[in-house]
């Protein structure tokens, strides 16, 4: 029996997702041999702690990827589009958190609680994970789908600033400092004037505000983030005809996305059965007792692994529809954790009899 521990490359180790990845790698059972940290040339030479050891960051290059068995890509879409195929050509299995390959028919889109089998077939040597908003809801919705048969989703997202990376968090914190202790927020544009023109990665101020836009402008008024939720949910659940209408709204929360979900099914639903399913599904925590103040909020679930589900209600006018409020840390399950779950399953392939 060979039992070689695979070598891991973390590409994008200095980013918002990268920082959480280093924490998770230090906490999880250690299945990795060498771990090397990679980012842009800007970060080369920085030292970051992983598994208790200070590790120097390398600039992304063909050389830096040499010998990696598994490469985690936690970098912007364009960087992943260019470099993931290079890493794959060098023999690494790539697990990519960016949108670059999610809809490529030759790249599986994997959420281990839902479609773990899909990662076994990877013609391009690349496995993708979905976006953070899809990940916030898909584990809970997938569990309900297995029992009731999903036919339609109407979702409204409450997206945290860190969904836009380190830059999003910095912008929110700076803006909050400008508005705290003031009487702003009561006349049109007063917050905008206080914050100034630099609203960071957001198209409007986020402090004392909500911003109904994330991603790029697509056809017919849709944003890229909204269309992605639709195409990713369809691919992961293997429901190519699933009806999905999504609205993405940024809220002044540091980390943890929330989603208000209206899910319609083929079969009649009951809250009781939905509770049973959610209470026993891996990766889901049911937290649903409003009379005791129990419902998930981002401030309470940030930094935790599971998808938290509360506010489960059956639509009063439709016995096949459920309303849910789900909350999950967009940097953990929404990105780093899902990536590492896939990578650890692949690492197990290196244990050969």
Ligand X SMILES: NC(=O)c1ccc[n+]([C@@H]2O[C@H](COP(=O)([O-])OP(=O)(O)OC[C@H]3O[C@@H](n4cnc5c(N)ncnc54)[C@H](OP(=O)(O)O)[C@@H]3O)[C@@H](O)[C@H]2O)c1
Record the tokens describing residue 126, joined without a space. Answer: 């690349």
Examine the residue annotation and report whether 248 is marked as an active-site residue of this protein: no
Minimum CB separation of residue 176 from a copy of itself in Å reads 5
Residue bearing tokens 């006018």: 317
To 10 degrees, the CA torsion angle through 213, 219, 221, 227?
-50
Q: Is position 181 an interface residue for a copy of itself (rule: CB under 8 A)?
A: yes
Among residues 132, 145, 248, 327, which one is catalytic?
Answer: 132
Q: How many CB atoms are closer than 10 A to CB 189?
A: 8
Q: Decide which of a copy of itself, ligand X, none touches 313; Cβ closer than 5 to 8 Å per partner kind.
A: a copy of itself
Whether 166 is catalytic is: no
Instruction: Round to whole Å and give the CA distance between 297 and 262.
Output: 18
User: What's the CA angle centered on 297, arms 145 and 284, to 5 degrees?
Assistant: 35
User: Contacts with a copy of itself: how many residues (CB under 8 A)?
Assistant: 77
Residue 318: CB minimum distance to a copy of itself, A: 6
- Hey, which residues between 301 and 320 contact a copy of itself (CB under 8 A)? 301-304, 310-318
* Closer residue to a copy of itself in complex, CB, 118/169: 169
Nearer to a copy of itself by Cβ, of 133 and 255: the residue is 255
Pick 205 or 334: Cβ nearer ligand X: 334
CB of residue 246 to ligand X, shortest distance in Å: 16
Residue numbers at the binding site for ligand X (CB under 6 A): 12-18, 39-40, 42-43, 60, 74-77, 79, 97-99, 131-132, 162-163, 165-167, 330-331, 334-335
Binding-site partner at residue 307 among a copy of itself, ligand X, none, CB < 5 to 8 Å by type: none
- Asked if 23 touches a copy of itself (CB under 8 A), the answer is no
Contacts 24+ apart (CB under 8 A), 117-121: 119/342, 119/345, 119/346
Residue 131 contact, options ligand X, a copy of itself, none, Cβ 5-8 Å cut-off depending on partner type: ligand X
Spatial distance between the Cα atoms of 208 and 32, rounded to a whole number of angstroms? 44
Nearer to a copy of itself, 123 or 272 (CB): 272
* Cβ proximity to ligand X, 296 vs 334, nearer residue: 334
Q: Which of 26, 40, 115, 260 binds a copy of itself (CB under 8 A)?
A: 260
Residue among 124, 170, 247, 320 that touches a copy of itself (CB under 8 A): 247
Question: Is residue 208 part of the contact set for a copy of itself (CB under 8 A)?
Answer: yes
Order across the sheet with 243-250: list the strands: 243-250, 150-159, 257-265, 321-328, 307-314, 284-286
Length of the chain, in residues:
353
| DSSP alpha helix (H) spans, the chain | 16-27, 62-65, 77-89, 132-148, 165-179, 190-195, 224-237, 271-280, 298-301, 337-348
- Considering beta carbons, is residue 258 or 330 the nearer one to ligand X? 330
C-alpha distances (whole Å) from 335 to each of 4, 18, 33, 95, 274 are 27, 9, 22, 11, 26
Residues involved in catalysis: 132, 257
């Amino acid at each position: 029996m060979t039992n070689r521990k695979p070598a891991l490359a973390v590409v994008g180790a200095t980013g918002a997702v990268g920082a959480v990845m280093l924490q998770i790698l230090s906490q999880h059972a250690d299945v990795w041999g060498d771990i090397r940290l990679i980012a842009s040339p800007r970060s080369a030479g920085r030292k970051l702690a992983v598994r208790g050891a200070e590790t120097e960051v390398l600039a992304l290059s063909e050389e830096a990827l040499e010998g990696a068995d598994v490469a985690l890509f936690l970098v912007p879409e364009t960087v992943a589009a260019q470099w993931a195929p290079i890493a794959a050509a060098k023999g690494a299995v790539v697990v990519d958190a960016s949108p670059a390959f999610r809809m490529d028919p030759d790249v599986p889109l994997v959420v281990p609680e839902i479609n773990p089998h899909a990662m076994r077939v990877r013609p391009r040597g690349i496995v993708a994970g979905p976006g953070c908003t899809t990940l916030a809801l898909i584990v809970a919705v997938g569990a309900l789908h297995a029992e009731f048969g999903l036919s339609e989703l109407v979702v409204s997202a409450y997206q945290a600033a860190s969904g836009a990376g380190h830059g999003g968090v910095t912008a929110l914190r700076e803006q909050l400092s400008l508005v705290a202790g003031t009487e702003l927020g009561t006349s049109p544009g007063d917050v905008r004037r206080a914050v100034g023109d630099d609203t960071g990665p957001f198209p409007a101020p986020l402090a004392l505000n909500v911003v109904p836009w994330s991603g790029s402008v697509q056809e017919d008024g849709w944003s890229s983030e909204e269309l992605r939720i639709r195409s990713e949910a369809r691919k992961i659940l293997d429901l190519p005809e699933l009806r999905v209408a999504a609205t993405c709204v940024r809220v002044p929360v540091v980390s943890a996305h929330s989603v208000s979900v209206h899910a319609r099914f083929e079969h009649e639903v009951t809250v009781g059965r939905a509770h049973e399913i959610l209470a026993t599904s891996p990766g889901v925590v049911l937290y649903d007792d409003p009379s005791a103040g129990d419902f998930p909020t981002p401030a309470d679930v940030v930094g935790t692994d599971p998808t938290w589900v509360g506010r489960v209600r059956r639509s009063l006018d439709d016995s096949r529809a459920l309303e849910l409020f789900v909350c999950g840390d967009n940097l953990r399950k929404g990105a780093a954790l899902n990536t590492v779950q896939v990578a650890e399953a692949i690492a197990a392939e290196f244990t050969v009899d």
